[in-house]
Structure 1
Amino acid sequence: MGKVREDQLCLREEQTKLITRFGEIERQYNELQQEAELIAKQSAMTGIKLSLMLGILKAREGGDLVQAADLTRFLGEIVSLEKAKAILADAQG
């Protein structure tokens, strides 16, 4: 009977270790998922800014200074919003 009891205790210890390890893996998965979402959002914003920059260059090449100024202003607003978000995020923790 002692051997069975010992085996049961060993199994419980292993089960506890596995549950703990599974929790850690799940936490890491969630963290990686959040990081991937952040990278995707940053990539999308970078694409938008690059498109605006290209639009500015094309407008200047075409002599459409009003369009270039509008796009430049819009790009500046996007950059300002990103900076404000970064400052707010740093302040929150």
Structure 2
Amino acid sequence: MPVTTLSWRSSKFAAAKKMRSRESKRDHQQKKRRLTNLNLRMKMLRVEMEEISEDQKKIKEGQRLVREKFEAIELECEQLRKETVLITQQSVSTQIRLTLMFQILKARENHDFSKASQLTCVLRELIAREK
């Protein structure tokens, strides 16, 4: 084989090797760039997830406070209902006593003392039951 063929082949081999080396470096740089971008996106996602987690905690706390206030309001409403029923009962009782007293006065006015006596006994029993 002549020397020129060998040098031509080795120079062709060397050129191909250089080209593969450049492609390999370019591929490596692209992979590195993609990895850097991926890492950057991952960091951003972690930050967003952290913010979302904080927001969820705040929402949960707000819901807890609203629930507590709602329960307090319900308790207060129940107490008001009980007081309203009590006041209504007292009002009815007062109305009955006033009616009895008025009937006692009318009976005395009409000189019906036996009826007045009966009504007075009824009024006394009613007052005794209430105590």
Whether the TM-score (by the shorter chain) exceeds 0.5 is: yes
Post-superposition offset of 1:34: 0.3
Q: Specify the alignment match of 1:31 in structure 2.
A: 79
The percent identity for this pair of structures is: 41
Q: Is it true that 1:18 corresponds to 2:66 in the alignment?
A: yes
Post-superposition offset of 1:20: 0.7
Post-superposition offset of 1:4: 0.5
CA distance in 1, matches of 2:80, 2:129: 25
Where structure 1 has 5 or more consecutive residues not aligned to the other structure, the ranges are 84-93
Letter in 2 for 1:36: T
CA distance in 2, matches of 1:17, 1:79: 47
CA distance in 2, matches of 1:29, 1:54: 37
Q: Specify the alignment match of 1:51 in structure 2.
A: 99
CA distance in 1, matches of 2:55, 2:103: 71
Render the CA deviation track for 1:52-80: whole Å, top value 9, x for unaligned. 00000000000000000000000000001
Q: Is it true that 1:62 corresponds to 2:110 in the alignment?
A: yes
CA RMSD in angstroms comes to 0.4
Higher relative contact order (CA 8 A, sep 6+): 1
CA distance in 1, matches of 2:82, 2:56: 39
Query: SS state of the match for residue 80, structure 1?
Result: helix
Aligned residue-pair number: 83
4+ runs deviating over 6 angstroms: none
- Please identify the structure whose Cα radius of gyration is greater: 2
Where structure 2 has 5 or more consecutive residues not aligned to the other structure, the ranges are 1-48
Q: Specify the alignment match of 1:9 in structure 2.
A: 57
TM-score scaled by structure 2?
0.63
